[in-house]
Structure 1
Amino acid sequence: MSKPLLRVEDLVTSYGAVRAVDSVTVDVAEGEIHAILGANGAGKTTLLRTISGLLSADSGRVWLDGKDLTRTPAEQHVHHGLAHVPEGGGVIVELTVEENLRLGGLWKRDRAERSAALTEMFDLFPPLWERRSRPASTLSGGERQMLAIGRALMARPRVLLLDEPSLGLAPLVTQRIMRLLRDLRERTGLTVVLVEQNAQSALSVADRGLVLWLGRVVARDTSEQLLADDQMRHAYLGF
């Protein structure tokens, strides 16, 4: 692989005496969808939260396009091209759909750029255009996930960190979200790091992936090879 756009190098993050992320290294190429898989408690969410600066690493480095972001405050990551959609999406239900989207681009000073980004989000997510004036509380689970992703994309990131987008969604809605990620990559060249407990769903759209177990990497390969490894799947992914 050529020089990675995102590189995580020997990352360690602890909760007290417990190493939730234990010497994890992962390289993500530009335009790639990279799945982070594992059971509950494997360290997937902690890994994303450390990459995005919401948690401090004990040791190791996070690089984005050659820039060390390890000690950069979380609120500055978006300026460097890194956006994070947390588990559950985190939309503000009291605000309208459009207000939620506009929040994602507030830090950009160019009004024309913010307006263009908003138009692009409504093009990408037609249901959000139809519901733009409604409170986010009125959206379905799948629509809220679209809104959370759209709000993150308002910042025009180079890398999107996406944590459990299928959580609580019906299988058909999950398939729609996964197809959306693939379409986004094809249309915009977006790089995605996708954390999922639903390994089959994630591997259906990912190029490569790694499997965590108690904070450590126990497997990494192409999606095809991970799906074909019956022993690893049964031991760590539950299917």
Structure 2
Amino acid sequence: MLDIDDLVTTYGPVRALDGLSLWTQDASITAVLGPNGAGKTTLLRTISGLAKPTSGRVRFDDTDITGWSPDRIVRMGLAHVPENGGVITELTVAENLRLGGLWRRDKAGVSASMTQVLELFPPLVTRLKSQASTLSGGERQMLAIGRALMSKPRMLLLDEPSLGLAPGVTLQIMRVLEELRDWDELTVLLVEQNARSALSIADRGYVLSLGRVVAVEEAEGLLADDRLRHAYLGM
């Protein structure tokens, strides 16, 4: 589904991504882990077109999307939920959700997506007419993921979905991601500081440090590797 080859992204003299290569399987959850400053957020921003790479290649579903605009990438079926969700607080929950499917012309499909989102995130059902500014942190994260799902993506990029959330809400979101993988065959690239939570649902994991991949392994193997856990994952 996603194939990244020798990707370099810079901010001035800083190489946030330094020759990074990564790939994901269809209908899988791939965790991207590492300390602050490892390049995790830059990776997602580069994939989704929010940051332009200096060199390297991003291929999605056998199409080279390197340097494409974010809206064109979304139409290809790749949706990005940034850190802290990025919901528009002045809009209602329903308006935020409709915004996610704004470019779609299949009204029946948009309605079906709305139904699916509300089934996945029941707390949003009673908040549809509420401004997003009134939501709790967990509800905002649910809304952000739901808005991304409204575009009917084949792949979801998630940046720190558990940040600042209570353990119970984090568990609920992780279960939703598992359900989307197992039943809807959605592919997920999950950036997380909470390594244990991410690896509990991931099929595979990459560990980054200073913009490079320092380890890649099945999730169970990363959890069992004491050296990696202590050196890079804070576990």
TM range (shorter): over 0.9
SS in 1 for 2:201: coil
Could you tell me which residue of structure 2 aligns to residue 74 of structure 1?
Answer: 70
Secondary structure in structure 2 of the residue aligned to 1:162: strand
1:32 maps onto 2:24 in alignment: no
Which residue of 172, 175, 179 corresponds with 2:175?
Answer: 179
Determine what percentage of the aligned residue pairs are the same residue. Answer: 65
1:25 maps to a residue whose letter is S
Task: Determine the structure 2 residue equivalent to 1:89.
Answer: 85
Q: How many residues end up aligned between the 2 structures?
A: 235
* Amino acid across the alignment from 2:208: L
Q: Quick one: which of 3, 8, 18 aligns to 2:4? A: 8
Distance 1:58 1:48 in 2: 15
How far apart are the structure 2 equivalents of 1:175 and 1:123? 16
> Residue deviations 1:194-220, cap 9 Å, x none?
000111110011000100001111000
- Offset of 1:102 from its aligned partner? 0.2
User: 1:8 is aligned with what amino acid?
Assistant: I
Match of 2:48 in 1: 52
Rounded to whole Å, the distance in 1 between the matches of 2:197 and 2:111 is 33
Matched, 1:169 2:165: yes
2:143 aligned with 1:118 = no
Note the C-alpha offset of 1:71. Answer: 2.1
Q: Distance in 1 between matches of 2:75 and 2:16?
A: 27
1:214 aligns with 2:210: yes
Matched, 1:98 2:94: yes
Letter in 1 for 2:96: N
- Choose from 206, 223, 236 the match for 2:232: 236
SS of corresponding position for 1:204: helix
- For the aligned residue pairs, the C-alpha RMSD in angstroms reads 0.9
Deviation digits for residues 93-149 of structure 1 (CA, Å, limit 9, x no counterpart):
111111100000000122222222212211221111121111111211111111000
State the match for 2:198 in structure 1: 202
Deviation per CA, 1:174-204: give whole Å up to 9, x if none: 1221111111211211100000011111001
Paired with 1:208 and 1:34, the residues of 2 have a C-alpha distance of 5
The amino acid across from 1:91 in the alignment is V
The whole-number CA distance in structure 1 between the counterparts of 2:60 and 2:140 is 28
The CA deviation at 1:171 is: 1.8
- Distance (whole Å) between structure 2 residues aligned to residue 235 and residue 36 of structure 1: 15
Residue 143 of structure 1 aligns to which amino acid in structure 2?
A: E
- Superposition misfits of 4+ residues, deviation over 4 angstroms: none
State the distance in 1 between where 2:132 and 2:214 align: 39
2:231 is equivalent to residue 224 of structure 1:
no
Secondary structure at the counterpart of residue 35 of structure 2: coil
Query: Which whole-Å CA distance do the structure 1 matches of 2:61 and 2:67 have between them?
Result: 16
Question: Hey, what's the Cα distance between the residues in 1 that align with 2:44 and 2:224?
Answer: 26
